[in-house]
Amino acid sequence: DTEVTQTPKHLVMGMTNKKSLKCEQHMGHRAMYWYKQKAKKPPELMFVYSYEKLSINESVPSRFSPECPNSSLLNLHLHALQPEDSALYLCASGGGPSSPGELFFGEGSRLTVL
């Protein structure tokens, strides 16, 4: 199984809602990543979990709250978002020391904030 599964594929939420994005992988990867991608832009790193611990937070606003319940799951909790947070949120896993250490991406969750 070389898949990273993200749910939901699409999400529309108001600025006062609380919602969560979910990501799952069963490749035994110990690092999991959240990226944000705006239209016609490259993915921008948000968070990295390594061995279930948060190891990188790229100064992301606290209205985004990541969680790694176990080595296969990664969540992104959303609260009080702004319309400019509308984007494609990509989850990835991998980053191990073995060659070539690439990232495997999910299909993304497209978020619209009204």
Partner 1 sequence: GEDVEQSLFLSVREGDSSVINCTYTDSSSTYLYWYKQEPGAGLQLLTYIFSNMDMKQDQRLTVLLNKKDKHLSLRIADTQTGDSAIYFCAERNTTSGTYKYIFGTGTRLKVLA
Buried b (16+ CB within 10 A) or exposed e, 29-64: bebbbbbbeeeeeebeebbbbeebeeeeeeebeeeb
- In whole angstroms, how close is the CB of 107 to partner 1 at the nearest point? 5
Region 38-97 residues binding partner 1, contact defined as CB under 8 A: 40-43, 45, 48, 50, 55-56, 90, 92, 95
| 43 close to 90: Cβ distance less than 8 angstroms | yes
Q: Does 105 bind partner 1 (CB under 8 A)?
A: yes
Q: Which residues contribute to the site for partner 1 (CB under 8 A)? A: 4, 31, 33, 40-43, 45, 48, 50, 55-56, 90, 92, 95, 99-108, 110
